Structure formats: structure tokens, C-alpha cells
Amino acid sequence: MKATRAHHLLWPVGAIAVLVSAETLGSLRDTTYAGTARWMLWLEVAAAASLLLGAVLAGGGRRGVALALAATGLLWLAPEWAGQIAAPTGVRVLLLALGQLVLPAATLAVLAVVVRAQPAPPSRAVATRLAVAGGAGSALLTLMLADPFRDVRCWRVCNHNPWLLADPSAAARWAGAVGTVVTIAGAVLACAAGLAAVTRHRRLAGPAGASLLLLGGLGFAALLRLQVTESPGSPSYRVAFVAAQLGALGLVASVAADRWREWQIRSALLRLVAGMRAGGGRGALPAALARAVNDPGLQVLYWSAARSAWVDGSGAVVPEPTAGAGRSVTTVVRGGEPVAAIFHAAALQVDHLERALGPALRLSLENERLYAATLAELAELKVSRARIVQTADAQRQQLERNLHDGAQQRLVGLALVLRMLRTAAQDAGDADVVALAVQAEQLAQQVLAELRRVARGIYPALLSDAGLAEAVWDLAESSTDLAVQVDARLPRRPPPPVEAAVYLAVAAALDDARSRAATRAMVSIGARDGIVRAEMADDGSLPGEHPVQQLADRIGALDGQLQVRVVDGAGACVTVEVPCGS
């Protein structure tokens, strides 16, 4: 809040200072660059004003850039103001000292605008420290230990320094030179970091070039001052001066272009939000976002906390999003939890998109995330439901196999042995044993029949062995009270869970038809477009609370559908549709 208010004050104060001083600076022919030519004056004023404008443009969104540009803009004319002969000497020397801070401030501005990789490279911290230390040292030395009156090379100010702490000495002059060199070192390091940033992001080439001009001009002039008296007439100084002005203008232009792109995206997103309020429905957000930022390859992934994974709009789990091959990822976070990951072209700057997403769009993203996460959980539930049914079926099938291959085979063996016993007893003429053997054999056959019935109830072996069509035929053949007609046309066998579900539905529908005193039933089974469809029609009385409905869970577990309807005012028609999943 405070920073915002200060930033509101900064612009008018700076603008007034620049405008008020412009005309007077232009008249100081011997003590300012601005006094030598009209165009030099306007170039300088334009550079200072643009730096302030850049600070306003960068605004609260990029506070580092705004503060560094504002400081540079305010200090930009300080050396020139020191040339005001009419002003008190104390103020002029103070301005001279502040002039030492222009290069450090510009260095910080360059670092803020160009070197913005996260995490920041170590060279950025070193450059910042060198600039601050060198600038502060030089400014303090100028203010307290330099006396322009005793300086034979004095230019702008040649009066006694009223702030002087001690007589200027050779040591003080050397210290001043060291401060200048440290400051320049910071600027050089900042330029190097800027060029390194260009190798990662080509779009930073513009601001990096402007930075070279700006810091090169200012640094060259500072270096020059150590040996040659500064003068607006000197070609070297003039070149350095013009380069610095142009660099400042260029740097601000790149900041403005950056803001312009950001504004474009933001306004496109605002239109998007307005459009979404008007309609568009679920899942429209990613497509609209892609249109808004003109990136057809844009993808939005959502975070599913329950599954600890990224999912797409349909709830399908997708791999962890990673940047690469010209694509970047912007992760939208809310309350420390990821909400969405936006995959977009690397040309679209990450910080642009992140800041352009307004609260309304964030809320929309959060809604879409909730929807996608719910879909993901639903899909997982469906899969687990199908798995439960399949596991139960597999266990039943195994149990049936165990009964057949174990108990049943042994019973057949037992019946055979009993038959042999009977034959042996007959040969021996022992009628009592024969009678007992016959009894035992009958019992064994009864147990065998009973066991077969139980095994069939556990899982119809014919279904797994011969398939759905034959198993349904078997149902029809075994029906002694209900005439069942079968029309089963399946080009190939559906997966076992589908066969089991359809078979059970047919069996249940036939049982139900019997309970409603039906005399005829028609079962049609076919497959089309990967969906197995079975229809059971009967001529029984009207269906009440339909027991086939109990199978709906099993059918639903396979993503299928079960329908019961009344046909022609009499009888029921049960329809089952199950996708084959392939």
C-alpha cells in the first residue's frame, strides 16, 4: 500500500523536476551537456522523463524494475543540475555526489529488467553488491573528501566544498578512483549477466543491447573522468553521453513493449472471461485460453489431490508436465496447492501469463480443476468397481475349476470303483454286497449330479469354455416351461466380464419372465461398433419392481446400460448394452 502511494507521487514530482529544469539547463552553456545543443537538451530530458515513465509502466507488478528505473530517472539530471551557477555551492556539491549514483542505479535497473531468471544467477547478487558499494563509496568521498576549488581539473563546480571533513589528500583521490572502478566492475558484470540471459531467451536481445549502450556510455564516461577533464565539447564525452541517453530510452522502450504484450494478453483473457460468463460450458476454458493467447497448442492440466497426479479435462491421468521443445509450463497455485498447469509456447512469457490471469479466470480454473478432479475420481471408482466384479468372477471361475478337476473327478473315480465292486460281488455271487454297492453307486451319482449343479451355480463352465452364445443356447435348451427363441450373432467372443454380465442379465430376465407367467421369450444378442447388445422380450404380465434391475450394478461396472420397458401393453423387454472396451 505504502509502495503504491510512493509510486503515485514519484511520477509527478520527477516530471515537474525534469520540466522545470529543462529550460535552465539549456542555458548553461559551459557547465552542462544540455547547454551545448538543443537536441542534446531534449535527448537528455527525454531520457530522464522516459525512465520515470518506465517506472510507472512497470508499476506494482514488477516492483524491482519500477524502483530501479525511478531511482535512475530521478538521479539522471543530478550531474547537470550541479552546473547551476546560481545555486548554493552546498547543493551543487551534493548533486555532484549524487551524480556518482547514476551508474549504480542504472546497473540495478539493467539487472532488474534483463536478468530475471529464477533462481537468479550468482553474478546478479555480486553485480548488485559491487554497484551499491562502489556508488555509495564514490558519492561519500565526493561529498566529504573532495574539494573542487583545489582541483585543477574542476569543471562544473569549482567552489570550496562546504561539506568537507578533511583536507583532500592523494589517498582520498585514490579511494575515489577505486570506488569508480568498483562501480564500473558491477556494471560490466551486469552486462555479462544480461548477455548470458540472451543466450537462454532470444527475446531479451533488445533490452540487453540497450543495457550495453546505457552502462557502456555511463561507465566509459566515468573511466574517462579519472584521466581527462570532463567537458561537453570533448568528442569522447559526447559519444559516451549520447550512448547513455539512447541506452536509457531503449531500456524503457523494452519495458514498455513488455507491458504492452502483457496488456494484450490480459485484455484477451478479460474478453475470454466475459465470453465465459455468457456461456461456453465445461471444458471450454482451455480452448478459449488457447485462442486468447493465440497458441493452438496450449494445454491445461489440473491437479487432482486425491490421486496426487495431474489430470486432463476429462479426468485422465497424464504425466507430470515438463517444459521443453519450445514449450513452457506456468503453474497456477492457490493457497500453496497447485491448481492448474498451463502448457504454452515458450514465446509467451511465463510471468506475463501468470500476472495476466485475473481473479475471475483463476476462479474459472479452480472450477475446472474441481470438475476434472471429480471426473478423475469417478474414473478411478469405475475402474475399481469393474475390478471388483472381475476379481469375483475370476475367483468363482477358479472355484468351479477346482470343483471340476478335484472333487468331481474323484467322485467319477469313486463311482467307477463302486461299479467294479458291484461286478466283483456279482461274480462272487454275494447278493448283499451287490445291493450295497448299487446303493453306494446311486449315492455317488446323486452327489456327482448335486456337485455339478453347485459348480454350475458358482460359474457356468460353458460360459467360459464355449462362450456367451452357447451358454445362452444352453439356457434355452434347459428351459422346459418357457419357450425361448435365441438369435445370437457374435463375430468374436467378447471379453469374459462382458460375457458374464450379459449372460447373467439374460438368465435373470428369463427367470423374471417365468415369474410373470410368460410362455414365450425371444433373446437376441449382437455386437456393433464395439458394443454388445442383448434384448430379451417376453409375453408375460406387466413387469413390476423389476429384479433384473439388481444387475444394473454389474452392467454399470462395465460402463454398460440396462433398460426395462413394457412392450405393446404386455410383457417386458430388457435391453442390455455393454461396451467391449476394445
Partner 1 sequence: MRVVIADDSIVVRSGIATLLAGAGVETVSEAGDSDALLRMVATTAPDAAVVDIRMPPTYSDEGIVAAHRIRTDFPDVAVLVLSQYVASSYAMRLLQENPSRVGYLLKDRVTDAATLTDGLRRVVAGECVVDPALVSRLFGRARSRGPLDEFTDREREVLHLMAEGRSNRAICGLMFLSVKTVETHVGRIFTKLGLADSGDTSRRVLAVLAYLREGAP
Residues binding partner 1 (CB under 8 A): 401, 404-405, 408-410, 412-413, 415-420, 423, 441, 445, 448-449, 452, 461-462, 464-466, 470, 473-474, 476-486, 519-520
Cα 581 to Cα 158, 527, 577, distances in angstroms: 92, 12, 12
Q: Measuring CA to CA, which residue among 314, 316, 317, 371 is closest to residue 339?
A: 371
Minimum CB distance to partner 1, residue 520 (Å): 6
246 or 469: whose CB is closer to partner 1? Answer: 469
N residues, the chain: 582
Minimum CB distance to partner 1, residue 348 (Å): 58
Contact (CB, 8 A) for 301 and 318: yes
545 or 568: whose CB is closer to partner 1? Answer: 568
Q: For the packed helices 359-402 and 496-515, what is the interaxial angle rounded to 10 degrees? A: 80
Q: Looking at residue 571, what DSSP letter applies? A: S
Torsion angle of C-alpha atoms 166, 170, 176, 177, degrees rounded to 10: 180
371 or 473: whose CB is closer to partner 1? Answer: 473
Residue with cell 524502483: 67
Minimum CB distance to partner 1, residue 412 (Å): 5
Type of residue at 65: V
354 or 477: whose CB is closer to partner 1? Answer: 477
136 or 438: whose CB is closer to partner 1? Answer: 438
Minimum CB distance to partner 1, residue 442 (Å): 10
> What's the gap between Cα 298 and its chain centre?
10
Minimum CB distance to partner 1, residue 481 (Å): 5
Minimum CB distance to partner 1, residue 509 (Å): 16
Other C-beta atoms closer than 10 Å to the C-beta of 137 total 18
**Beta strand segments in 418-548, E:** 483-489, 520-528, 531-538
Cα 195 to Cα 182, 198, 357, 390, distances in angstroms: 20, 5, 30, 62
Contact (CB, 8 A) for 26 and 34: yes
30 or 470: whose CB is closer to partner 1? Answer: 470
Minimum CB distance to partner 1, residue 441 (Å): 7
118 or 478: whose CB is closer to partner 1? Answer: 478
49 or 403: whose CB is closer to partner 1? Answer: 403
459: left (phi over 0), alpha (psi -120 to 50) or beta: beta
Minimum CB distance to partner 1, residue 503 (Å): 13
